[in-house]
Amino acid sequence: MGMSKTIARGALALGLALALGACGRGITSTPGDAPNLEEWVANIKAKPAPPLDPLPVMQQFETFEYAALGLRDPFSDAFTSKDSGSGPRPDSHRRKQTLEQFPLDSLDMVGTIGRGNGMVGLVVAPDKVVYRIHPGVYMGQNDGRVTAVHEDRIELVELVPDGAGGWLERPASVALEDN
């Protein structure tokens, strides 16, 4: 067993020596090789450069003149309602309530207290505080005013912009979570 290990090590060492010797054959250089290299570089530099490809032809486009002198200005306020004073509007003088800082979909109803008209809803906000909700309270970021509290949901009316300078009332609700 000892003899075969020695033979294997000797064969490995011989193989490595041959491999390293084969790698160095093309690397040998003599002082006379440098002028050949300089001569070859000079010959390459002396050859003329290949011609450049011609520039692509630019495509011609037809000009178009927009002449809409008699038409309505698209940036005018023609779509805003002229009677912007009527209809529902958010009360800018009303002090914002705590639950108006949270989006409506981030509020979770967790239960109710009481019965009938005296029912109070319990809502958990993202700040992990439970709030008591009754009709008239505002919640959500769209001026949502609570209109009714039921055992399984809280109904409210939000004011959203209609895109024409006015406001629309939109019904919304926060439902009791089924856990």
Report whether pLDDT(102) > 70.
yes
* Residues of the chain above pLDDT 90, percent: 36
Alpha helices in 24-85 (DSSP H): 33-46
- Please report the pLDDT score of residue 30 as a whole number: 55
Report whether pLDDT(66) > 80.
no
Q: Report which of 147, 163, 152, 154 is spatially closest to residue 131, judged by C-alpha positions.
A: 154
- Please report the pLDDT score of residue 135 as a whole number: 92
Spatial contact of 155 and 148, defined as CB atoms under 8 Å apart:
yes
Our measurement of the distance from residue 80's CA atom to the centroid of its chain's CA atoms, rounded to an integer in Å, reads 32
